[in-house]
């Protein structure tokens, strides 16, 4: 909670830029409950000096009143050594002096003749160094204290630890739902920390005030900056302000209802005095009208029909009073439109109806249609690509099967190398030239890169030898004869090449 570039825990950096104005940090970061002694700042001397000063401890988390003897010559902003009520000495900073202390004591209901301990002297450098040392130990002691309390199974939460200025006593602030027997806990603390222990129970709001933090409004918590008295807050304050009863949104950092719910409550109560108490339902000839919401400061009440809630009408509160008077007299209004036309609309301020100097973007920003079309088109392209790939595969399969010339597949060799030569010589039951078996003269063309075709012969069919081809000119077989049955335009080249006669060994 300290200011940027400002260390105010001990007051050694009082000359820092963040602490020069107004006797401290204006935001309350260096001193949570900071006060401004304007009488001392202006140099005004009291005609009747008041011998009581207000001293702040641990950056404003605790403030007490002390007697100020004349020989100390201390004023607002000085670090002083004071007597501790339980024994020993403590170190703090004077936050108020003079006549303002009298008013503060009256506000906190402290009598002027009360018995108070006094200020000893001004704090020197060694006192501030010792205070800085004990403040650094508080965080480690807090962690160990929580571990010990959890190991003992106590239903309590240690919220904060505050060391005395001389380091001989520590006060543990805790929160609990009920009464806690912490006698065994104190024994463990005294044995481990070797100091005098004081346990003090506080509420959830006081815990947030000591720890500090940021609210959902973006500012520091009110309880840790300026709010010193806590008033009870209930859900009725939210109902008067037409807020949704949502525990998550209405709760603060302490887990209780926000204190700021009471800030504008009086204004809402005064404005609601002009609204009728029993106007939630109005019977008309067109149907039962029910109240949906109320605009308190514009004095408008929004009604709709219970059977048909598609239309809302904003009716002024004066017109509602007239409609209720008609119902009380025994006359039922025809519809909400008739109630709206009973009296002229109230005059509104021109400032309320002035158009804003910026462009409204309600229902304007949305996903462009071009991006949606691109997404659909992208899916369609992927589908077309898959369909085109499947069509290409099917077309290739049909082109292979459309030649009608079955061949035995070549295994272990690429398709573009042509048929594998047969070096095993003639065998029994197998002709030397396989092309003669298919009724095709001559040998296959060398360098043919077409893929091999499967063998269409039936299984276990005996191959009969075929007579050698005739060297005389023959006509090409017609489709469906001789097992060829293909009208390939390259047939003429094969016929002319095969007319040369059989190859001689």
Q: Is the pLDDT of residue 18 over 50?
A: no
Q: Which pLDDT does position 38 carry in this prediction?
A: 82
Q: In whole angstroms, how far apart are CA 307 and each of 288, 290, 292?
A: 8, 10, 14
pLDDT confidence bin for 17, thresholds 50/70/90? very low
- Residues in Cβ contact with 87 at an 8 Å cutoff, skipping those fewer than 6 apart: 169
pLDDT per residue over 350-399, tens digit each? 555 555 566 665 566 555 555 555 555 555 566 677 777 778 877 777 76
Separation between Cα atoms, residue 499 and residue 504, nearest integer Å: 14
Residue 285 CB partners (closer than 8 Å, separation 6+) = 332, 333, 334, 335
Choose between 57 and 459: higher pLDDT.
57
Q: What is the mean pLDDT of residues 34-55?
A: 83
* Cα→Cα distances 160→57, 139, 163, 306, 406, Å: 14, 9, 10, 55, 94
Tokens of 180: 């806690």
Fold for the domain defined by 131-211: GMP Synthetase; Chain A, domain 3 (3.30.300)
pTM of structure: 0.57
pLDDT (tens digit per residue) in 326-338: 888 888 888 888 8
The model's pLDDT over 262-276, given as tens digits with 9 standing for 90+, comes to 998 999 988 888 898
pLDDT reported for residue 354: 58
Higher pLDDT, 6 or 265: 265
DSSP code string of 345-398: PPP--HHHHSPPSS---TTT----HHHHHHHHHHHHHHHHHHHHHHHHHHHHHH
**What local confidence, expressed as pLDDT, does residue 179 receive?**
87
Give the pLDDT confidence of 432-477 residue by residue, as tens digits.
444 444 445 445 555 555 666 655 555 555 555 555 555 555 555 5
Window from 63-77, 120-134, 160-174, 467-481 with minimum mean pLDDT: 467-481
- The domains of the chain are located at 17-122, 131-211, 231-271, 276-345
Q: Rounded mean pLDDT of the chain?
A: 75
Angle value at C-alpha 314, between 313 and 318, nearest 5 degrees: 125
Question: For residue 485, is pLDDT > 90?
Answer: no
Instruction: Find tokens 């820092």 and name the residue.
Output: 16
Give yes or no for residue 483 having a pLDDT over 50: no
Please report which confidence band the pLDDT of residue 349 belongs to, taking 50, 70 and 90 as the band edges. Answer: low
pLDDT of 481? 46
Tokens, residue 159: 């919220």
Higher pLDDT, 142 or 311: 142
Which pLDDT value is given to residue 344? 60
pLDDT of residue 364: 61
Mean of pLDDT values over 8-24: 43
Residue holding tokens 């006549």?
99
- In this model, does residue 143 exceed pLDDT 80? yes
pLDDT digits (tens, 9 = 90+) for 63-113: 999 999 988 888 888 999 999 888 889 999 999 988 889 888 988 888 888
Give dist(CA 138, CA 206) in Å, integer: 19
Q: Which two tokens stand for residue 186?
A: 């104190």
Is the confidence at residue 197, as pLDDT, over 50? yes
- For the cut 80, the answer to whether the pLDDT of residue 31 exceeds it is no
Q: What is the mean pLDDT of residues 194-223?
A: 89
Three-state DSSP at 233 gives coil
């Amino acid at each position: 909670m300290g200011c940027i570039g400002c260390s105010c825990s001990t007051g050694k950096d009082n000359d820092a830029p963040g602490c020069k104005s107004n006797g401290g940090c204006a935001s309350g970061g260096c001193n949570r409950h900071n006060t401004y002694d304007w009488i001392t700042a202006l140099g005004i001397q009291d005609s009747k000096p008041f011998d009581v000063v207000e001293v702040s401890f641990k950056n404003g988390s605790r403030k007490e009143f002390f007697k100020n003897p004349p020989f100390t010559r201390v004023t607002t902003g000085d670090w002083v050594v004071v007597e501790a009520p339980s024994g020993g000495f403590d170190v703090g900073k004077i936050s108020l002096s003079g006549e303002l202390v009298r008013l503060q004591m009256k506000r906190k209901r402290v009598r002027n003749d009360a018995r108070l301990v006094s200020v000893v002297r001004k704090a020197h450098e060694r006192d501030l160094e010792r205070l800085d040392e004990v403040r650094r130990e508080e965080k480690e002691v807090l962690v160990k204290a929580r571990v010990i309390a959890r190991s003992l199974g106590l239903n309590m939460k240690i919220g904060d630890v505050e060391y005395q200025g001389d380091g001989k006593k520590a006060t543990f602030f805790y929160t609990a739902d009920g009464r806690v027997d912490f006698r065994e806990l104190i024994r463990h603390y005294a044995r481990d920390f070797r100091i005098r222990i004081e346990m003090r129970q506080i509420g959830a709001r006081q815990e947030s005030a000591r720890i500090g933090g940021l609210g959902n409004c973006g500012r520091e918590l009110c309880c840790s900056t300026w709010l010193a008295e806590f008033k009870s807050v209930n859900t009725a304050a939210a109902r008067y302000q037409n807020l949704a009863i949502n525990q998550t949104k209405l709760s603060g950092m302490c887990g209780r209802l926000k204190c700021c719910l009471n800030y504008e409550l009086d204004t809402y109560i005064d404005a609601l005095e002009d609204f009728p108490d029993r106007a939630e339902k109005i019977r008309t000839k067109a149907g039962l009208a029910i109240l949906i919401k109320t605009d308190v400061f514009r004095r408008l009440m929004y009604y709709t029909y219970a059977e048909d809630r598609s239309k809302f009408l904003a009716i002024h509160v004066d017109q509602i009073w007239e409609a209720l008077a008609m119902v009380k007299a025994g006359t039922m209004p025809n519809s909400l439109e008739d109630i709206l036309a009973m009296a002229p609309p109230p005059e509104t301020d021109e400032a309320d109806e002035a158009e804003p100097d910026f462009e409204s973007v309600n229902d304007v920003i949305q996903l462009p249609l071009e991006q949606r079309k691109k997404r659909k088109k992208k899916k369609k392209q992927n589908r077309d690509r898959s369909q085109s790939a499947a069509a290409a595969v099917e077309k290739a399969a049909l082109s292979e099967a459309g030649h009608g010339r079955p061949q035995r597949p070549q295994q272990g060799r690429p398709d573009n190398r042509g048929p594998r030569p047969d070096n095993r010589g003639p065998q029994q039951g197998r002709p030397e030239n396989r092309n003669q078996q298919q009724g095709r003269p001559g040998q296959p063309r060398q360098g043919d890169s077409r893929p091999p075709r499967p063998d269409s012969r039936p299984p276990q069919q005996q191959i009969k030898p075929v007579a050698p081809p005739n060297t005389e000119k023959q006509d090409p077989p017609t489709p469906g004869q001789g097992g060829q049955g293909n009208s390939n335009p390259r047939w003429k080249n094969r016929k002319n090449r095969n007319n040369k006669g059989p190859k001689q060994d």
